[in-house]
Structure 1
Amino acid sequence: MKKIIKVCALTALAATPFMGSVAEASDYPNRPVKFVVPWPPGDLEDILTRMVAEDMAKETGKPATVVNKPGGAGIVGASDVARARADGLTIGSFVIDILTTHLLSGNAPYEKDTFEPVGIFLDYPFVLATKADSEYNNIDELAKYSQTHDISLGHFGYQALPTAITFKVAEQEGIKFSSNAAFDSNDCSTLANGDADVINTTTQQILACLNSGEVKLLTSLTRERLSIAPDVATLNEQTGISQTTWNGLFVKKGTPEAVKARIAEIAQKALSTDRVKEISKTTGAGVYWVGGKDAEKVIADDYEAAKTLLEFMKE
């Protein structure tokens, strides 16, 4: 009898973590949820994450807010999520760099398996842009112009994947940047103030001056031509370089599967609304959903692909 009681007790102890996870998932969220965006407010990942948070609050009746924690090219915000509990109450809205180039360069204070994807939802409309009156209109013309003129580049940091891609383009195509600098925000003022002649940014950051005709695009770092600039050839078309960037929702490793499924359910519903479709239409952003094992494969593949860009990343 004592042996049976002992076995039952051990079984109960072994089941305790699982039962706790089930209980935690059934009433998720039981406290306020925090979405961490490691960039300043206003760009696409911030806007779309806020929409997900708003819909989560409406559907669950619990507060869900977005906290912007810029710094370190995304590392400050990512570190905040890394320190959180694996309960789904802290959700990171991360660009691809957090899971690839930062780790490969040894910059990250977290491990490769610190986070688990809930889902990838955004294909950034990254572009190279310049003033409308610049004497170059594409990558080839920029390369030729840079041989005899000083051209400065503005980007989001040396460890940001789009920056590495831009440096790779410069080496391959013979673009000579006389100087370059990292900015937390590369917007209309960066060009207007003369802080940079060419900027690596997203269409959302320059939408106002793009629509006004003050700024033009040299290329887009996207899979297909932007809906808002169908005449501008992609980087792949101009150079054969096909890397793109994405953003997704991530939680701490060990978060219950049921909790991740609930977050995914709410996020997918929010991202399928008409207001999100309008944002996609006006900015050229690709909004979709890749979750579960498919998201894990995307990350694994991009991690391997990012290794080839390390030589173009500076300390």
Structure 2
Amino acid sequence: MLRLVAVALTACVGSVSAVFADYPEKPVSFIVPWPPGGEEDVLTRMIATEFQNMYGVPAAVVNKPGGGGGPFPGALEVAAAPADGYTVGSFVIGVPVVGPSLGIPELTPNPFVPVGVFMTYPFLIVAGKDAPYSTMEELAAYAQENDVTLGHFGAGLVPTHVTFGLAEELGFEFGSDAAYDALDCNTLASGDVDVMNSVAALVAPCLSDIKVLASVTDERVFLTPDAPTVSEIVPSLDIVLWNGLFVPIGTPEDIIAKIEAAAIRAIQSEEAKTYVQTNGAQIYWKNRAEAEALIKRDIETFGALTSK
């Protein structure tokens, strides 16, 4: 009897392995929890195209903006998906670093495994061209007697916390703040906000018509070389914004390897290299082990930032 059970189990495992070996057999969705146009959207589309070319099945980006909820509504869709490689999340640092601390049951504990990290955002703190301040220090002085409205992608996200932390270190508070799905040239031009933190791609069309006060990057963005990094102003605020691919825990390793192979080829392409030359993003590939180490470090840094 035991021998028969063992044979049956071996046959079952072999059958499952055969099923996964055939991956992919149907369309694959890459979930980007933001509107189209940002760096993560453009580069994830390149990855999806490469995946389609390599494996011969449709692969497409599906944008799931959170309506002020940041990336978390989109992340929930990936968390609820089967661990079969047909739903892949393209997530910012906030999903694995901040998500588990928000009390969202589906994200606590972290339900994702990183495939890898592929980009550092050129995240900028910007103001309108007519703003009566050109640096964070001048903004701090102005805000002592005037209300300043901040626009951001979500109150719980890393760049928002960094911006608030910077303001606190400089001795001021924003008069009000609001979350947006997109923070672009129109957001500033409309007067909806006075200051906003956004990615360079969304403000690139009007970069000559705005003021860049600082960047949330590990080095100055070549598009705005005169703007200091936040960590130059306050060294303890040394955390950067990155984006990576994630799948639900339990996704087979051979499936993760196939997704990774397409991502590496896309990120190393001339198309990707040419694209980032226009917006200041940094592209590379950190594998699963490197991504897990990065997440662990950033959780510690973020915890110190939010405990102040």
Calculate the TM-score normalised by the size of structure 2: 0.94
Residue 231 of structure 2 aligns with an amino acid whose one-letter code is: N
Quote the Cα distance in structure 2 between the aligned partners of 1:140 and 1:17.
65
The answer to whether the 8 A contact 1:119-1:249 is kept is yes
The answer to whether the 8 A contact 1:90-1:251 is kept is yes
Q: Which of 23, 41, 45 pairs up with 1:46?
A: 41
Aligned identity (percent) is: 41
Report the CA distance between 1:185 and its aligned residue: 0.7
Quote the Cα distance in structure 1 between the aligned partners of 2:129 and 2:284.
32
Q: Which of 189, 195, 198 pairs up with 2:195?
A: 198
Quote the Cα distance in structure 2 between the aligned partners of 1:190 and 1:9.
68
Quote the Cα distance in structure 1 between the aligned partners of 2:149 and 2:271.
36
Report the CA distance between 1:14 and its aligned residue: 4.1
Quote the Cα distance in structure 1 between the aligned partners of 2:16 and 2:227.
50
Quote the Cα distance in structure 2 between the aligned partners of 1:123 and 1:158.
20
Count of matched residue pairs: 305
Give 1:287's aligned residue: 283
Give 2:143's aligned residue: 146
1:156 aligns with 2:153: yes
Q: How does 1:294-309 map onto structure 2 within 5 Å?
A: 294-309=290-305
Residue 173 of structure 2 aligns with an amino acid whose one-letter code is: K
The answer to whether the 8 A contact 1:22-1:258 is kept is no
Give 1:11's aligned residue: 6
Quote the Cα distance in structure 1 between the aligned partners of 2:240 and 2:7.
48
Q: How does 1:105-144 map onto structure 2 within 5 Å?
A: 105-107=102-104, 109-144=106-141
Structure 1 residues 58 and 106, CA, compared in 2 at 3 Å: closer, same or farther? same
The answer to whether the 8 A contact 1:115-1:250 is kept is yes
Q: Which of 87, 93, 106 pairs up with 1:96?
A: 93
Report the CA distance between 1:48 and its aligned residue: 0.6
Give 2:239's aligned residue: 243
Quote the Cα distance in structure 1 between the aligned partners of 2:292 and 2:150.
33
Report the CA distance between 1:70 and its aligned residue: 1.2
1:29 aligns with 2:42: no
Q: What secondary structure is seen at the aligned counterpart in 2 of 1:135?
A: coil
Quote the Cα distance in structure 2 between the aligned partners of 1:223 and 1:138.
18
Q: CA RMSD in A?
A: 1.6
Quote the Cα distance in structure 2 between the aligned partners of 1:197 and 1:131.
7
Q: Which of 156, 163, 166 pairs up with 1:166?
A: 163
Report the CA distance between 1:237 and its aligned residue: 0.8
Q: How does 1:222-261 map onto structure 2 within 5 Å?
A: 222-240=217-235, 241-261=237-257
Structure 1 residues 225 and 51, CA, compared in 2 at 3 Å: closer, same or farther? same
* 1:99-155 deviation line (CA, Å, top 9, x unaligned): 111211324532334111100011111110011232222211111111122211100
Quote the Cα distance in structure 1 between the aligned partners of 2:195 and 2:109.
33
Quote the Cα distance in structure 2 between the aligned partners of 1:285 and 1:69.
22
Q: Please list every run of at least 4 consecutive aligned residues from structure 1 whose deviation after the TM superposition is greater than 4 angstroms.
A: none
The answer to whether the 8 A contact 2:99-2:108 is kept is no
The answer to whether the 8 A contact 2:96-2:110 is kept is no
Structure 1 residues 165 and 12, CA, compared in 2 at 3 Å: closer, same or farther? farther
Give 1:84's aligned residue: 81
Structure 1 residues 227 and 19, CA, compared in 2 at 3 Å: closer, same or farther? farther
Structure 1 residues 106 and 233, CA, compared in 2 at 3 Å: closer, same or farther? same
Quote the Cα distance in structure 1 between the aligned partners of 2:25 and 2:228.
48
Structure 1 residues 10 and 303, CA, compared in 2 at 3 Å: closer, same or farther? farther
The answer to whether the 8 A contact 2:28-2:86 is kept is yes
Give 2:206's aligned residue: 209
* 1:136-189 deviation line (CA, Å, top 9, x unaligned): 222111111111222111001111111111111111111331111111111111
Report the CA distance between 1:13 and its aligned residue: 4.3
Calculate the TM-score normalised by the size of structure 1: 0.92
Quote the Cα distance in structure 1 between the aligned partners of 2:177 and 2:286.
34
Report the CA distance between 1:231 and its aligned residue: 1.8
Quote the Cα distance in structure 2 between the aligned partners of 1:202 and 1:16.
51
Structure 1 residues 18 and 168, CA, compared in 2 at 3 Å: closer, same or farther? farther
Report the CA distance between 1:41 and its aligned residue: 1.1
Structure 1 residues 137 and 249, CA, compared in 2 at 3 Å: closer, same or farther? same
